[in-house]
Amino acid sequence: MINNSRKKFRLSPPQVLAIGFVLIIFVGSILLSLPISLEGEGQMTWNDALFMATSATCVTGLSVINTGAHLSNFGEIVLIFLVQIGGLGFMTMSTLIALVLRRRISFQERLILQEAMNHESTEGIVRLVRKVLIYALYIELAGAVLYTIRWSFEMPIGKAVYFGIFHSISIFNNAGFDLFGSLPERPGSLMHYVEDPIINIVSMLLVILGGIGFIVISDLLTYPKNKKLTLHSKVVLSASAGLIFIGALVIFIFEFTNTHTLQPLSPMGKLLSSLLQSVSSRSAGINTIDIPFMRQATQFFIIIMMFIGASPGSSGGGIKVTTFVILVGAVIAMMRGNEEIVLFRRRISKERIYKAITFTLLSFSLIVIATIVLTITESYPFLGVLFEVTSAYATAGMSMGLTSQLTEFGKIFLAILMFIGRLGPVTLAYILIPLPEKEHYRYPEGKITIG
């Protein structure tokens, strides 16, 4: 009886992940609501603290306060610590502690890690986690050093180091929080550095490395020895490169004559801005041109890019580039009269195709429902609401200004949406709905007219 009750109440890996994220958000909310987390004698409501903790843990970057101006150094450290945990995954951080303490990783913990890392199996999962931690440390350290060197020319060295570490962690984990609100007369995000090649290039590299996923990074590092890449890496790299190029081209064309964005910039500034906005739009939430002043066509295009998102196994959100590629592959296969999707001479299983369709439809439905709800509760134009909702669900972090004007209901609603987006609707369904038993029979085939 005891063993049966233990089996009955044993949490599944998705449930453990969800509960872990909830606990981290709750602790983060408490810490951010403390007076020590605020600058001067400022106050933060519980809803604001909950929103900021959720945004940081879900590596979104949307903010209801001016992070640099309103948070103290303690508050900023709490925020970036939440970003680091959320970006790498709390189970990855727990595994790090276990490895340091030389504790054995149980099979149940390996299953949770497999779920958290979007890995195919538990085989080699602990080895992958070790690589993830090492890669993240080196990449963030490199980014921090490069940022520090650049910012040491305009601020004291201690502040340059602090800014370098904070922004390297934030941008690599695709969170997009910044501290430039603490500097007088500075615009938000990286807009002050719109034509700065060092800041732009370093930021783009950090976003790309954080967005392609650790499985792909591991593949790239072993490529000189193995001389081969997995199908996953080939799809992610080719699709990411294509989306970055198309995105930059579209933004460049749409905004070229816009006096509020690209038009005043030099040719190099136009190129850098178009590239950074394209790279950032799918997940990172940083920008060098003012999003609200973009043309509506550009804003809607960015909504599509945010919906597509980054790569599985990364800190980015969205439906993921692999899902997008499978959907495009399904359309092409249908138009050619093929029964199977083939990518790089490999057939994609029907299970993957069904999962891609399910994930996309669930994501689309959630965004539609959330947009309808917030157009009722918030006094803001429709496109702005759709932009903010997509940004929250896709954990992209870009904003057209609605987040800072949200009602109390809107803050809680958007925080829940960020949480769902970080876990994924399919994972959430696994948490709430028990898996049905496999059917041992098949129904007769029926035909429905389509089109």
pLDDT in tens, the chain (451 residues): 445 444 444 666 667 777 878 888 999 999 999 999 988 766 788 999 999 999 999 888 899 988 888 899 999 999 999 998 888 765 555 555 555 445 555 555 555 555 555 555 555 566 667 777 888 889 999 999 999 999 999 989 999 999 999 999 999 988 889 998 888 777 778 888 999 999 999 999 999 998 888 788 888 888 888 888 888 889 999 999 999 999 999 999 999 999 999 999 999 999 999 999 999 998 888 889 999 999 999 999 999 999 999 888 777 788 999 999 999 999 999 888 888 888 888 898 888 888 889 889 999 999 999 999 999 999 899 999 999 999 999 989 898 888 888 999 999 999 999 998 888 766 666 556 655 566 667 778 777 777 6
Residue 327 near residue 334, CB atoms below 8 Å: no
* Closest C-alpha to 195, from 267, 269, 260, 263: 269
Scanning the structure block, which residue is given the tokens 């001067």?
A: 40
Predicted local distance difference test score (pLDDT) of residue 185: 76
* Phi, psi dihedral angles at 34 (to 5 degrees): -70, 150
Q: Where along the chain do its domains lie?
A: 14-429
How many Å apart are CA 297 and CA 353, to the nearest integer?
Answer: 30
Angle between helices 73-88 and 13-33 (to 10 degrees): 170
CA torsion sign for 26, 112, 125, 242 is negative
Q: What is the pTM of this model?
A: 0.88
Instruction: Compute the CA torsion angle 194, 200, 206, 212 (nearest 10 deg).
Output: 90
Euclidean distance between CA atoms 256 and 251, whole angstroms: 8
Closest CA to 85 of 53, 46, 124, 125: 53
Distances (CA, A) of 365 to 325, 368, 376, 425: 20, 5, 17, 10
**Residue carrying the six token digits 């996309």:** 360
87 and 59 in contact (C-beta within 8 Å)?
Answer: yes
Which DSSP string corresponds to 348-389?
PPHHHHHHHHHHHHHHHHHHHHHHHHHHHHS-S-HHHHHHHH
- Number of neighbours of residue 217 by Cβ within 10 angstroms: 20
CA distances from 26 to 53, 327, 367, 416, 419 (A): 8, 37, 25, 13, 12
- CB proximity list for 372: less than 8 A, separation 6 or greater: none
The residue assigned the tokens 């939430």 is 285
So what's the pLDDT on residue 271?
95
At 180 the pLDDT is 87
Q: Which two tokens mark 425?
A: 């609707």
- CA 71 to each of CA 34, 65, 155, 261, 308: distance values in angstroms, whole numbers, following the listed order: 11, 9, 19, 29, 32
Burial of 373 (0-12, 13-18, 19+ CB in 10 A): middle
**CA-wise closest residue to 384 among 359, 410, 422, 421:** 410
Pairwise CA distance, residues 104 & 102, whole Å: 7
| Number of residues written out for the chain | 451
| CA torsion angle 160 164 165 171 (round to 10) | 150
Q: Residue 319, exposed/middle/buried by CB under 10 A (0-12, 13-18, 19+)?
A: buried
Do 211 and 316 form a contact (C-beta atoms < 8 A)? yes
